[in-house]
Amino acid sequence: MLEKSPLIRPFGGGSPKTRFLYLLVFLLIVLLAGSVWFFGFFQNKNNQRQGEIKANLSALQSLKTVKDAVALSPNFLGYDRPKTYLVLFLNNTEIRPGGGFIGSYAVVKVNKGKVEIVETNGSENLDWQAPVDFKIKPPYPIATYMNQEYWFFRDSNWSPDFPTSAKNSLWFYRFEGGTEGSKIDGVVGLTPTVVEKMMEITGPLTVAGKTFESKTFTEELEYHVEYGYKKTGQEVEARKSIIGDLSRALLNKIVSLPPWKWGEIWGGFIALLQEKQIMIFSNDSDLQSLLVRNGWAGDVKQTNSDYLLVTDSNLASLKTDPVVKRKITYTLRPEGDNFIGKVTINYNHQGQFDWRTTRYRTYIKVYVPEGSKLLKADDFINENKKSVAADVGTELNKTFFGGFFSLEPQTQKTITVEYVLPERIKDQIKNGLYTLFVQKQLGTISHTLTVDLDFGKTGGSGKFFQETDLRLDRDFLFK
């Protein structure tokens, strides 16, 4: 028995959400510039530092990945024709199925590696300008638990499959009158974790006598923009000027790096793609296939094997997700002629009521192999805090069990879902062909994962137990 994980090097709603946007757009430019360097480097076989820089590209793991990255770069950077991208800021401190609440966005044009920022804006500004007759019914959890009558761009990434969410976001963007809406070639999703991880390479940033560390960057910047600016005597209109200062500071740090350190920047980019902090969707089918093949598209994997994906949707819980720790346990056991799957998710709310965190309200979905039959699901409630049965449905060629619950600060709750696995999974166990793929939610950091499998006498593999995490997708193979 063995576990196969992707071979990458690990790295140690309502109010305006534009506070990180300019820095994230700047970072995208840096990454695009890194792509230009990367593409140019591999085209230049006479580069005297080739061997030294290659040594710092170990995060790319394989020649195949390198070749795919090289193949992707000229298309993505607009060397065949100018490209226009919709860039979404996905706030993973307010998690949503598609990576995080869409607080802000940018429209970026790329032509032969040259980047033009066409527009940056808060998502609520786009929603406010939607046509008066633009009245789309939202998914029922948004309507029910946020009391929201209509569906808008800011909530459009409701699918855990980024290509699906990206297409949906682009649809809303176009029909709400977004700039260059009919000319968008692709969608890029970024979380604040991207900036934090880049700062782990560049080191701390000091602006106006204040030092920002990578581990606390998001919280400190968020506090400054919301409250801290008052202590400096700034007017509210000038409170975001620090973002421009931080951008310049990060730029100075990056351009000061020696050339061989750019391999580390690019390697960090690849790692963040694998960890689903950066997701890319392209309307170009060939490019999209390449993104999917390398695990850079944020797509839900299609498989006939055993499967698990747990998603949360923060519903009006401020920025509480970082202080709610999850422990996911998957168990499998024989029962009569069937095999029973059980998923438990322990939520530990380590926060309190303050400016950033509050009680945690989430709509959870547990995706399992299509055809699974629900036996029981505990602790889901309705808007009146009464116990209710789980929602059951089919989506993305998976069966899902879902429901809403609320968790007070400094408390814990465990959600349990138990179900009968479909006949094909039982046959795979009996024939020694069983595999398990556990997928992480887009934008999440590293939930704890425990896998406890009992194949019984028919499985031939006995039992299996492992504790790991969901920093990456986890693929379990058995021999």
Tokens 């490019």 found at: 287
Q: Residue 370: which domain range? A: 306-477
| Residue 270 located in a structural domain | yes
pLDDT of residue 459: 56
Q: What is the largest CA-CA distance in the chain?
A: 72
> CA separation (Å) from 301 to 162, 163, 425?
11, 12, 17
Answer with the one of 243, 259, 293 that is the final residue of a domain: 293
224 in the same domain as 191: yes
pLDDT of residue 72: 65
Looking at per-residue pLDDT, the higher value among 123 and 164 belongs to: 164
pTM metric for this prediction? 0.85
Helix-then-strand count for the chain, H and E: 13, 20
| Cα–Cα nearest to 310, from 449, 108, 194 | 449
Answer with the one of 293, 326, 347 that is the final residue of a domain: 293
78 in the same domain as 46: yes
Q: Per-residue pLDDT tens for 25-64?
A: 445 544 544 443 334 334 443 444 444 444 444 444 444 5
221 in the same domain as 169: yes
Q: Per-residue pLDDT tens for 130-170?
A: 999 999 999 999 999 999 999 999 999 999 999 999 999 99
Residue 426: is its pLDDT beyond 70? yes
382 in the same domain as 251: no
279 in the same domain as 310: no
Indicate the helix (H) or strand (E) that contains 438: strand 435-439
354 in the same domain as 253: no
pLDDT of residue 182: 93
Q: Per-residue pLDDT tens for 228-285?
A: 777 777 765 455 456 557 766 776 787 677 777 777 877 888 889 899 999 999 999 9
Q: Provide the domain count of the chain.
A: 2
d(CA 417, CA 13): 29
CB 273 within 8 A of CB 250: no
Q: Per-residue pLDDT tens for 161-188?
A: 999 999 999 999 999 999 999 999 999 9
Residue 119: is its pLDDT beyond 60? yes
- Length reported for the chain: 479
Answer with the one of 264, 293, 322 that is the final residue of a domain: 293
313 in the same domain as 288: no
| Residue 301 located in a structural domain | no
Q: Per-residue pLDDT tens for 332-352?
A: 999 999 999 999 999 999 999
pLDDT of residue 220: 81
311 in the same domain as 286: no
| Residue 299 located in a structural domain | no
Across the range 105-122, mean pLDDT stands at 81
SS3 call for 318:
coil
| Residue 221 located in a structural domain | yes
179 in the same domain as 60: yes
| Beta-ladder partners of 435 | 477
